[in-house]
Amino acid sequence: MEEERPYRKQHMYESVFNTEYNISFQRSKKDQCSRCESFKNLNEKDKLEHKELIDIHQLQKQLSPNGKELDIYMASENNTQVV
């Protein structure tokens, strides 16, 4: 038969987990775009080859919030517009 061991308190587990393991949890500050992240990981040669795609993507990122604001404005002015 198994030998019975005394139960440990939760604070004991928390203490061991927080001090013995190098793990931290935090929320990301901003959602990361997978396309931007893949561009960051390219080497210099590939970045030059994909420069046009990178520039187009950056422009689309800048225009996106403006489009959202315009959609909200249009919806407030026109009851048939749905956002």
Closest CA to 58 of 31, 35, 29: 35
What does the pLDDT read at residue 65? Answer: 77
Q: What is the pLDDT of residues 28-59, one digit of tens each?
A: 666 778 888 888 888 999 989 999 998 999 89
Longest dimension (CA), the chain: 76
pTM: 0.45
Give dist(CA 64, CA 70) in Å, integer: 10
Q: Which DSSP string do the residues of 18-79 spell out, in sequence order?
A: HHHS-------SSPPPHHHHHHHTS-HHHHHHTHHHHHHHHHHHHHHHHHHHHHHHHHHH-T
